[in-house]
Amino acid sequence: MPELFIELRSEEIPARMQKRAAEDLQRLVTEGLASAGLEFEEAIAHVTPRRLALSVSGLNKSTPDIKEERKGPGTDAPEQAIQGFLKAAGVTLDDCEIVEGKKGAFFVAKVARPGRPTPEVVSELMPQIINKFPWPKSMRWGSGQLRWVRPLQSVITTFNGRTVQYEVGGLTSGSKTIGHRFMSKGPITVKGLKDYIYNLHLANVVVDASERADTIRSDARKLSARHRLQLVEDETLIQETAGLVEWPVVLIGDFDSAFLAVPPEVIITSIKSHQKCFALRDKEGHLANRYLLVSNLIANDGGKKIIQGNNRVIAARLADAKFFWDLDKKTALESRLPELEKITFHAKLGTQRQRVERVEALAGEFGRIIGADVDNARLAAKLCKADLVTGMVGEFPELQGIMGAHYARAEGQEEEVAAAIAEHYKPQGPSDSVPQGKVAQAVALADKMDTLVGFWAIGEKPTGSKDPYALRRAALGVIRILLECNLRVLIVDSLIPAYRRVCMSSDPEALASVDETGPWRGKNVPIDLLELLEFFADRLKVYLRDQGVRHDLIDAVFSLGDQDDLLMIVKRVDALGKFLETEDGVNLLAGVKRATNILRIEEKKEAEKPEARRVDMTGKPLPNLLVQSEERELNRAIGAAIANTERSLLEEDFEAAMRALAKLRAPVDAFFDKVTVNADDPNFRENRLKLLNMIRTATEDVADFTKIEG
């Protein structure tokens, strides 16, 4: 079936806009075709620095014929209403029938429209799309009114190999394009995607962005290995450079080894940020004074002049970096703290200096709880934001924390203090690692908890998809640190001191309402902190689901109401999951659900009776009414299971608690097989309902089995 092909060629499109632009072109064209009644089989979009291309295959040659009936106004309606209906339907009275209905006669228009040729639809659609294309930023050029990301140079639109004619922005659509800016000659005639890709490749343009990225990745690794070096892998930079060139050529350059005295992160960031170059390491893993660049052409001299030009620029950039490094080291981190008073963290939460004071105190408390060196935790927290006012971080904000660590080492601070400064922002996303040392963990927890409590206290909470202060990420960071580092920290006990310190610096009146022993133990409960505790619970559920944990097991454990000790919640969920993978677990679950369902039905019946005649299902069953061996054995097994479960839970041995419950499986099965719960004798019935309630009670301390599916 015919193919629609489109190319929009312009000056260089910024790499960060390319992927979205290709997606927008595909979406707008396919939606426009669909709204015209045209179906298609496949749409494929491509983007290079100078062109957007789209192929839509499997299109019909015309839109379908339209035959329909439209109900109109009554025959006695005002003439204006009748004429309005005829105009909207595109018919005359001769095209209408009069139909008798319950409420009188009315007009029915017989509408018949032949299909339109697909090129005609496309010629109307494309100017609309091009004129209203949703670029994040766009420009006008010359005297024209068309806005595009960069000056639009040509437009190709073909259908079934033939040009679809239209004009837009002073350009007439055609079927010819050009190849590489410097390495191609003459125009290229385009019919469809297949010949487009082939002919442009001959003209030194790789149309597929993923192919360009693969070439850069492969050639960079090969060139590194040839020089006995290791590529510092950077997938983001690979994708960005693939958006900067149409014909990638990887070259190797160098810089003065004296610059290696600057921290390696500075060199890597500098050559990446300014020149989009890749850093290299030697076989020992040390940063080398070599780098890789991606050129957009095959130079006649093998790239010597390109490399020389890049070497000069990189030398200048690294000279600037070395200047900042040498200058920054002359001022101790602690001496920079007064400058943090000039930086507002948030209008309602004070300056960065005030925030550092809060984090410092919290880091000491977290350090005490998790067994870190309290003095080092406080010192690291005190210094962790000082690099924000250094020249290097002013130039490269992404190095905050990292540079603070280097400056701390340079002035002789202990390694765990420096490491904590470097890692206190961690984890910054799901793929980032957590802090490794106890001091670093204490400072990272303090930093994130101050952020969460602070913004919660002033009412700046995430809403829907909006989370301008990345509070979800901060909460997930706390959760990951606690779980992945196996730390026992009660969320409540950390919220209280954080909340008090926020109140001290931002709202002293609110401080008076917080009991020093904690609002959960006092009379006044700050509602926002209760909401924050629920927020942590929700984030933990999301985290566990992302880890592949069944949602029903999470709900079963959370139903116990203990949402404070995150590490213990996860251990409970893990033990419950393992238990339910066993035959005993599956069968006991069925027995507990059966007992619970019977109790629910009987409790509903009892609720409808007068209070004086209701059966009490709570309490222990009477031994003298346990007449069958199966109910006596179940009673004994429940008593043993409850005792063993309580002991195991006190010891926080959740797997042992599950094993204790597993011993109920056989007696529960036997009970339901041999014993009639709703006996004719009301005394036996009540006693056996008590026994079922004991089954429910025995499992409730471990999980709410009613929440578990299956």
DSSP-assigned states of every residue in 629-665: HHHHHHHHHHHHHHHHHHHHHHTT-HHHHHHHHHTTH
CA 237 to each of CA 255, 265, 378, 415, 600: distance values in angstroms, whole numbers, following the listed order: 20, 15, 37, 31, 61
Asked if residue 429 and residue 404 are part of one domain, the reply reads: yes
Give the domain CATH number at 609. 1.10.730.10
Q: Please give the structure tokens belonging to residue 548.
A: 């592949």
Is the distance from CB of 689 to CB of 544 less than 8 angstroms? no
Give domain status of residue 562, yes or no: no
Q: Is 234 exposed, middle or buried (0-12, 13-18, 19+ CB in 10 A)?
A: middle
Q: Which range (310-324, 392-406, 489-503) has the least confidence?
A: 489-503
Q: What is the DSSP string of 88-105?
A: HHT--GGGEEEEEETTEE
Give domain status of residue 566, yes or no: no
pLDDT of residue 365: 92
Share of the chain above pLDDT 70, in %: 96
Give domain status of residue 73, yes or no: yes
Residues 9-18: what's their mean pLDDT? 96
- Each residue's pLDDT tens digit, 68-112: 778 888 888 898 988 888 888 878 888 788 888 888 898 888 777
Q: Is the pLDDT of residue 253 over 70?
A: yes
Asked if residue 536 and residue 458 are part of one domain, the reply reads: yes
pLDDT of residue 291: 97
Give domain status of residue 586, yes or no: yes
Q: Is the pLDDT of residue 126 over 70?
A: yes
Buried/exposed 375-386: b ≥16 CB within 10 Å, e otherwise: ebbbbbbbbbbb
In the three-class reduction of DSSP (H, G, I as helix; E, B as strand; rest coil), residue 68 is classed as strand
Confidence of residue 519 (pLDDT cuts 50, 70, 90): very low
Asked if residue 33 and residue 170 are part of one domain, the reply reads: yes
Backbone angles phi, psi at 72, to 5 degrees: -115, -165
Give the domain CATH number at 391. 1.10.3210
pLDDT of residue 526: 65
The 10 Å Cβ neighbour count of residue 276 is: 17
In the three-class reduction of DSSP (H, G, I as helix; E, B as strand; rest coil), residue 612 is classed as helix
User: Could you give the CA distance from residue 632 to residue 478 in angstroms, rounded to a whole number?
Assistant: 49
Token pair 């005002």 in the structure block, residue: 78
Confidence of residue 363 (pLDDT cuts 50, 70, 90): very high
Give domain status of residue 565, yes or no: no
Give domain status of residue 339, yes or no: no
Confidence of residue 509 (pLDDT cuts 50, 70, 90): low
Confidence of residue 527 (pLDDT cuts 50, 70, 90): low
Q: In what order do the strands lie in the sheet with 51-57?
A: 42-48, 51-57, 3-10, 152-159, 162-163
Q: How many CA atoms lie within 13 A of 624 on its CB side?
A: 1
Provide CB contacts within 8 A for 102, sequence distance 6+.
none
Asked if residue 217 and residue 196 are part of one domain, the reply reads: no
Asked if residue 460 and residue 601 are part of one domain, the reply reads: no
Is the distance from CB of 279 to CB of 331 less than 8 angstroms? no
Domain that holds residue 91: 67-113
Q: Please give the structure tokens belonging to residue 170.
A: 């002073």
Confidence of residue 141 (pLDDT cuts 50, 70, 90): very high
Asked if residue 449 and residue 467 are part of one domain, the reply reads: yes
Q: Is the pLDDT of residue 23 over 90?
A: yes
Asked if residue 173 and residue 79 are part of one domain, the reply reads: no
- Among 153, 169, 202, the domain boundary falls at 202
- Each residue's pLDDT tens digit, 583-602: 888 888 888 888 888 888 88
Give the domain CATH number at 181. 3.30.70
Give domain status of residue 567, yes or no: no
Confidence of residue 511 (pLDDT cuts 50, 70, 90): very low
Vertex 564 angle, CA 563 and 568, to 5°: 85
Asked if residue 213 and residue 186 are part of one domain, the reply reads: no
The 10 Å Cβ neighbour count of residue 143 is: 6
Asked if residue 308 and residue 391 are part of one domain, the reply reads: no
pLDDT of residue 522: 40
pLDDT of residue 508: 53
Backbone angles phi, psi at 5, to 5 degrees: -125, 140
Give domain status of residue 603, yes or no: yes
- Each residue's pLDDT tens digit, 158-200: 999 999 999 999 999 999 999 999 999 899 999 999 999 999 9
Structural domain count, the chain: 5
Vertex 179 angle, CA 178 and 182, to 5°: 110
Buried/exposed 510-522: b ≥16 CB within 10 Å, e otherwise: bbeebeeebbeee
pLDDT of residue 100: 86
pLDDT of residue 517: 46
Provide CB contacts within 8 A for 524, sequence distance 6+.
513, 514, 515
Residue 287: beta bridge partners? 281
Mean pLDDT of the chain: 90
pLDDT of residue 662: 86
- Among 187, 202, 217, the domain boundary falls at 202
Vertex 573 angle, CA 572 and 574, to 5°: 90
pLDDT of residue 506: 58
Q: Please give the structure tokens belonging to residue 201.
A: 């490749």
Asked if residue 121 and residue 109 are part of one domain, the reply reads: no
Share of the chain above pLDDT 90, in %: 57
Q: Among positive and negative, which fits the CA dihedral 503, 504, 507, 508?
A: positive
The 10 Å Cβ neighbour count of residue 114 is: 10
Asked if residue 686 and residue 668 are part of one domain, the reply reads: yes
- Among 146, 172, 202, the domain boundary falls at 202
The 10 Å Cβ neighbour count of residue 129 is: 19
Reference 197, options 218, 219, 179, 174; nearest CA is 179
Residues 631-647: what's their mean pLDDT? 89
User: Could you give the CA distance from residue 558 to residue 109 in angstroms, rounded to a whole number?
Assistant: 62
User: Could you give the CA distance from residue 138 to residue 130 in angstroms, rounded to a whole number?
Assistant: 12
- Each residue's pLDDT tens digit, 196-234: 999 999 999 999 999 999 999 999 999 999 999 999 999
Asked if residue 521 and residue 404 are part of one domain, the reply reads: yes
What distance lies between CA 106 and its chain's CA centroid? 57
- Kindly report the pTM of this predicted structure: 0.80
